[in-house]
């Protein structure tokens, strides 16, 4: 959906997975092309898409076609796909992960606003509260979680087996698609139509295009409710795993 005032559109992981499921179960669909331009997203959403593609590419080939940008979590999809192509001039990379918060206690004091803290962790505090910096325990927990996600990210890319200099470039840098292809981050420079023509040549026949049905309003609301609940459950679990009781 569109993001008001910011001038760009987004799509949630639930919508992507629903569309992929439609294509997977439609007997008319012989291969799936994911056309994407993305700067990434949450580690959980990226991991969910990676897991789906890794599992289902065993029955139908899945190709990733990058139009303008494939960065950070978007590379999870590239790591799992059978073939990755990108338009000339597209930006590829940003292997990394970050998290943080704004700490506004000084501003709140200045304007005379007081906030009461009700938290999720074992201390009864919210680690992402705007009223104070991270405690040492919270910062340690966050760094440990980020390191775990980063290690998993790099492991997915390493498993693809096409990036010999992965350890050297897994530092957040972004590359133009021609350089990214030389580094092994993608297979070739190609647009959507040339990819389709190549697949038709390999199949020896003309292939039609199929597009998934957009979800209804009720389906979107149901997915949003489920996502919020899962995210909340994960947040509490994550904190409970890392913070000790006083």
How far apart (Å, rounded) are the C-alpha atoms in residues 122 and 174? 39
Taking CB atoms within 8 Å and a gap of at least 24, the contacts of 239-245 are: 239/120, 239/121, 239/122, 239/127, 239/141, 240/121, 240/122, 241/141, 242/137, 242/140, 242/141, 242/144, 242/145, 243/121, 243/122, 243/123, 243/137, 243/138, 243/141, 244/122, 244/137, 245/122, 245/123
Q: Is the pLDDT of residue 102 over 70?
A: yes
- The most confident of the ranges 10-14, 122-126, 140-144 is 140-144
pLDDT for the residue 218:
75
Q: Of 99-113, 127-141, 214-228, where does mean pLDDT reach its minimum?
A: 214-228
Reported as a single tens digit per residue, the pLDDT across 149-190 is: 999 999 999 999 999 999 999 999 999 999 999 999 999 999
Reported as a single tens digit per residue, the pLDDT across 187-218 is: 999 999 999 888 888 888 777 777 767 667 77
Q: Is the pLDDT of residue 38 over 70?
A: yes
Residue 36 φ/ψ, nearest 5 degrees: -145, 150
67 close to 35: Cβ distance less than 8 angstroms: yes
43 close to 73: Cβ distance less than 8 angstroms: yes
pLDDT for the residue 43:
87
Q: Is the pLDDT of residue 16 over 90?
A: no
């Amino acid at each position: 959906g569109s993001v008001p005032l910011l001038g760009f559109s987004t799509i949630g992981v639930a919508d992507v997975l629903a569309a992929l499921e439609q294509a997977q179960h439609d007997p008319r669909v012989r291969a799936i092309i994911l056309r994407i331009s993305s700067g990434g997203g949450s580690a959980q959403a990226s991991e969910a898409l990676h897991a789906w593609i890794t599992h289902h590419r065993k029955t139908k080939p899945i190709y990733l076609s990058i139009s303008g940008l494939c960065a950070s979590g978007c590379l999870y999809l590239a790591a799992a796909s059978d073939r990755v192509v990108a338009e000339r001039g597209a930006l590829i990379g940003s292997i990394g992960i970050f998290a943080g918060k704004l700490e506004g206690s000084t501003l709140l004091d200045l304007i005379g606003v007081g906030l009461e803290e009700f938290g999720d962790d074992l201390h009864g505090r919210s680690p992402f509260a705007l009223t104070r910096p991270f405690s040492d325990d919270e910062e340690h927990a966050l760094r440990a979680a980020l390191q775990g996600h980063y290690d998993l990210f790099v492991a997915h890319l390493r498993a693809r087996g096409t990036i010999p200099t992965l350890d050297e470039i897994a530092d957040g840098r972004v590359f133009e698609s021609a350089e990214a292809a030389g580094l092994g981050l993608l297979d070739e420079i190609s647009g959507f139509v040339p990819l389709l023509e190549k697949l038709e040549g390999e199949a020896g026949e003309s292939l039609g295009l199929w597009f998934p049905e957009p979800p209804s309003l009720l389906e979107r609301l149901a997915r949003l409710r489920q996502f919020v609940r899962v995210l909340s459950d994960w947040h509490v679990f994550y904190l409970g795993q890392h913070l000790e009781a006083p």
